[in-house]
Amino acid sequence: DGGITQSPKYLFRKEGQNVTLSCEQNLNHDAMYWYRQDPGQGLRLIYYSQIVNDFQKGDIAEGYSVSREKKESFPLTVTSAQKNPTAFYLCASSIAGTTDTQYFGPGTRLTVL
């Protein structure tokens, strides 16, 4: 089945450690996105990428980093510089050019202790 996978579903880390969240898609979509969702909050854009080897900062990029070495993969690293990293992280993808429909992965719940 085509879709977006995120792993792991739950992730625990100690404060001060960097952690990388995985996102893979087999939809052949050009564009990929990372969002953060806090309880009772809407979606906030962290980073997005329209094409391999290129990405742009979203609204809350500070303390995060990404890479886009392959079309199907867009990992997100939460660095120790992120002041409040505990949140629900969502990866999404869409067809670049039309950018008219976005699909989401199941999410990763990150808890920093």
Partner 1 sequence: GQQLNQSPQSMFIQEGEDVSMNCTSSSIFNTWLWYKQDPGEGPVLLIALYKAGELTSNGRLTAQFGITRKDSFLNISASIPSDVGIYFCAGPQTDSWGKFQFGAGTQVVVTP
Footprint of partner 1 (CB under 8 A): 4, 6, 31, 33, 42-43, 45, 48, 50, 56, 58, 88, 90, 94, 96, 99-107, 109
Q: Do 81 and 61 form a contact (C-beta atoms < 8 A)? A: no
CA–CA distances in Å: residue 53 to residues 47, 70, 72:
13, 8, 12
> CB 93 → partner 1: shortest distance, Å?
11
Complex with partner 1: residue 71 or 109, whichever CB lies closer: 109
Complex with partner 1: residue 59 or 62, whichever CB lies closer: 59
Distance CA 88, CA 97 (A): 28
> CB 80 → partner 1: shortest distance, Å?
26
Complex with partner 1: residue 85 or 105, whichever CB lies closer: 105
> CB 11 → partner 1: shortest distance, Å?
13
> CB 106 → partner 1: shortest distance, Å?
5
C-alpha 29: how far from its chain's center? 15
List the beta bridge partners of residue 45.
Answer: 35
Q: Do 23 and 75 form a contact (C-beta atoms < 8 A)? A: yes
Q: Tokens 């391999």 sit at which residue?
A: 52
Complex with partner 1: residue 37 or 80, whichever CB lies closer: 37
